[in-house]
Amino acid sequence: MNKLNALLIALMLLSVSFSSAQQYKPIKILPNTFFKGGEKLTLQLRYGFIIGGNVTLELTESNDLLHVKGTAKTTGLADKLFSVKDVYESYFMNSNNLPVFAIQNVKEGKKYTYYNEVKFNHALKKVTSTKSGDHDVPEGIVDMMSVFYMIRRLDLSEAKEGDIYKINTFFSDKLFPFELRYRGKETVETPLGKIRCIKFAPIVEPGRVFKSKDDMFIWFTDDENRLPVLIAMEMLIGSVNCEMIKYENVMKEPVFKK
């Protein structure tokens, strides 16, 4: 796998981890007061001083249905060396954050493409893939994009540092248990200024992209938006940061301190 491609995919996936013998906190989500249709977030991927690519997350809304389109693409010299444009889409219910339809559309280099659509039937606990047919899945299954917004809605009122949340996701025709450790709150420096954040540590799978299971941290603003302002990854190819550089149409203007 091309190095930059690995970075972009790691960011879009956040992480995928195999289930282990852990005690998990129950997943409870709050009513959605954190994001709305029209929100657009732009994050920039940096490998040292090198800017490798951008990720944009765009939300639209129709009645109770939210549509997120996530685009990961190379920029500048990286785009000339090995072009990547991966698009992941999810249609999920605003009421419960559960997806009904997801699209994966990958274009890498000059030849490789991958396209798949997945329908979610939560009543029957099944998903249907255009590539592989029907799959039995656990209750409350989500896709790789809707899980990102579910994290923003997590009820953390009783959370203690070290608590682990498990969210089952379905991606590339496989079931991936996603494990997320709550690491408390702290103020972080971002390109937009300093801001108080909620810190999470996804438990990643060592070997393919990461060195150990504790090589990734994500900071969401501790406010009415819970914006993903910083993602730090210690990868096999070195340290990588992904930073939010622009936001549009958020619920409430975040307070960054210079």
Q: Name residues whose C-beta falls within 8 Å of residue 21's C-beta, 6 or more positions apart in sequence.
A: none
Please report whether residue 255 resides in a domain: no
Q: Is the pTM of this model over 0.75?
A: yes
Which range of residues forms the domain containing residue 14?
3-247
Residue 257 lies in a domain: no
- How many domains does the chain contain in total? 1
Note whether residue 224 is domain-resident. yes
Within a domain: 189: yes
* Number of C-beta neighbours around residue 232 at 10 A: 16
pLDDT of residue 236: 60
Torsion angle defined by CA atoms of residues 7, 110, 57 and 227, in that order, rounded to the nearest 10 degrees: 10
- Rank 51-55, 71-75, 168-172 by mean pLDDT and report only the highest: 168-172
Phi-psi region of 226 (alpha: psi -120 to 50; beta: other; left: phi over 0): left
Range picked from 47-56, 101-110, 148-157 for highest mean pLDDT: 148-157
- Asked, for residue 256, whether it belongs to a domain, the answer is no
Q: Answer yes or no: is 84 within a domain.
A: yes
